């Protein structure tokens, strides 16, 4: 697949088939994250791969009862390592870095024929308890991964001419060139 084809194919999947994700596919998804860029090449991300059904259920409870978290055969919990929470121009770089790594994972998963969904709504302290994560480590996001249970909904995105400004901000978006 070409990169834009992968991007166009990506959807948030919240219903998964009862099929495990093959180890080789999981390894390629994790490798995609490892290769992501990060601020000053700090690579502050750390990932916990969760396949155990009981832990996935506990993560679903920590995610405010979002049942699809338990249904997904694979949940990747994205964390930021201690001591690597650096400020980058008044922003914590670890949150941006982890997000870029998760984007790489998401696109690789689509290329592997898998679906994903980013989970940002969760109680961090509960996720820490479930996975024995130290208090100084930040839990940034979770990513569910698996084979979609059915066809995804169509993609609905605004056209570029509603989103893009050229040279300066203006009240009226300028036509795409």
Whether pLDDT at 176 is above 80? no
Contacts of 124 (CB under 8 A, 6+ apart): 138, 139
Per-residue DSSP letter, 79: E
Query: At 30, is the pLDDT very low, low, confident or very high (cuts 50, 70, 90)?
Result: very high
Location of structure tokens 């249904």: 71
Query: At 64, is the pLDDT very low, low, confident or very high (cuts 50, 70, 90)?
Result: very high
Average pLDDT over residues 78-84: 80
Tell me the per-residue pLDDT of 106-163, one tens digit each, with 9 for 90 and over.
Answer: 999 999 999 999 999 999 999 999 999 999 999 999 999 999 999 988 889 999 888 8
Residue 39's pLDDT is what?
Answer: 86
Q: Percent of the chain beyond pLDDT 90? A: 75
Average pLDDT over residues 94-98: 90
The domains located in the chain, with CATH, are 3-162 (3.40.109.10)
Residue 177's pLDDT is what?
Answer: 60
**C-beta separation of 79 from 140 below 8 A:** yes
Written as six digits, the tokens of 141 are 């996001």
Average pLDDT over residues 24-46: 95
CA separation for the pair 107, 96 (Å, rounded): 17
Query: At 84, is the pLDDT very low, low, confident or very high (cuts 50, 70, 90)?
Result: low
């Amino acid at each position: 697949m070409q990169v834009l084809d992968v991007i166009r194919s990506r959807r948030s999947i919240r219903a998964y088939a009862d099929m495990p994700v093959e180890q080789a596919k999981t390894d390629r998804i994790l490798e995609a994250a490892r290769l992501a860029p990060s601020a000053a090449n700090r690579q502050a991300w750390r990932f916990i791969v969760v396949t155990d059904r009981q832990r996935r259920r506990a993560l679903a409870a920590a995610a405010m009862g979002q049942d699809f978290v338990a249904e997904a055969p694979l949940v990747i919990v994205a964390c930021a390592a201690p001591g690597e929470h650096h400020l980058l121009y008044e922003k914590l770089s670890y949150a941006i870095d982890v997000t870029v790594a998760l984007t790489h994972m998401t696109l690789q998963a689509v290329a592997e024929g898998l679906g994903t969904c980013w989970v940002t709504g969760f109680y961090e302290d509960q996720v820490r308890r479930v996975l024995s994560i130290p208090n100084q480590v930040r839990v940034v996001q979770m990513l569910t991964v698996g084979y979609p249970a059915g066809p995804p909904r169509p993609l609905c995105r605004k056209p570029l001419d509603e989103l893009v400004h050229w040279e300066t901000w203006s009240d009226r978006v300028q036509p795409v060139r």
